[in-house]
């Protein structure tokens, strides 16, 4: 048995404690926002990053035993309505293409801004080692900087509506969208 808190819920996994946390999250909890790149280890893509006690770590490299008693936050737990400044800024800056790397990058960026809301370019590069095969890095750096300004209330951004709402409600939330009447 391995006990921990996942997205604010105390949970117990009746799984092999040597199992990577990644598999337990995706397959036992259906938290498939955390991605797997098929590699693993410190040099790998980071698509599987989650917050462990507030630190962004690769969930493929942590066993359930190592996660015992920890507080885990996945992309689903970061913000259910996409209101986190990093989520909004990633959309605003167009820093998402296929999106496979995005959850891990958002987690890494959120952890960075939590401890340093105004990171330099070098600090962003150091804190976000994630690999993006689509090459969104220049826009990613802009998004993290913007998210820092939003987190400090120096700027507001509304680019990504909450999931599952109507087009009309999305248009109220996102200035870039207008819903046209059908004649």
Catalog residues that contact ligand FES under the rule CB under 6 A: 22, 36-37, 39-40, 44-48, 58, 60, 96-101, 132-134, 136
CA distance 66 to 149: 35
- Closest separation in Å from C-beta 9 to ligand FES: 23
Gyration radius of the chain over CA positions: 17
- Closest separation in Å from C-beta 182 to ligand FES: 34
Tokens of 183: 């004649």
- Closest separation in Å from C-beta 66 to ligand FES: 14
Of residues 4 and 136, the one with the C-beta less far from ligand FES: 136
Of residues 15 and 173, the one with the C-beta less far from ligand FES: 15
β pairing state of 9-13 and 55-58 = unpaired
Please provide residue 24's backbone torsions phi and psi, each rounded to the nearest 5 degrees.
-65, -40
β pairing state of 2-6 and 71-73 = parallel
- Closest separation in Å from C-beta 171 to ligand FES: 26
């Amino acid at each position: 048995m391995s006990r921990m808190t996942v997205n604010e819920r105390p949970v117990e996994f009746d799984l092999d404690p040597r199992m990577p946390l990644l598999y337990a999250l995706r397959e036992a909890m259906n938290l498939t926002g955390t991605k797997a790149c098929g590699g693993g280890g410190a040099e790998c893509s980071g698509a599987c990053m989650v917050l462990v006690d507030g630190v962004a770590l690769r969930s493929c490299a942590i066993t359930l035993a190592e996660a015992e008693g920890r507080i885990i936050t996945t992309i689903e737990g970061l913000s259910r309505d996409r209101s986190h400044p990093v989520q909004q800024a990633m959309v605003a800056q167009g820093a998402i293409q296929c999106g496979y790397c995005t959850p891990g990058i958002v987690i890494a960026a959120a952890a960075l801004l939590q401890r340093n809301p105004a990171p330099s370019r070098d600090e962003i590069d150091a804190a976000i080692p994630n690999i993006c095969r689509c090459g969104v890095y220049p826009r990613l750096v802009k998004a993290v900087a913007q998210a820092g300004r939003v987190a400090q209330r120096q700027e507001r951004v509304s680019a990504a509506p909450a999931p599952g709402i109507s087009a009309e409600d999305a248009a109220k939330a996102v200035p870039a969208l207008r819903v046209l009447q059908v004649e």
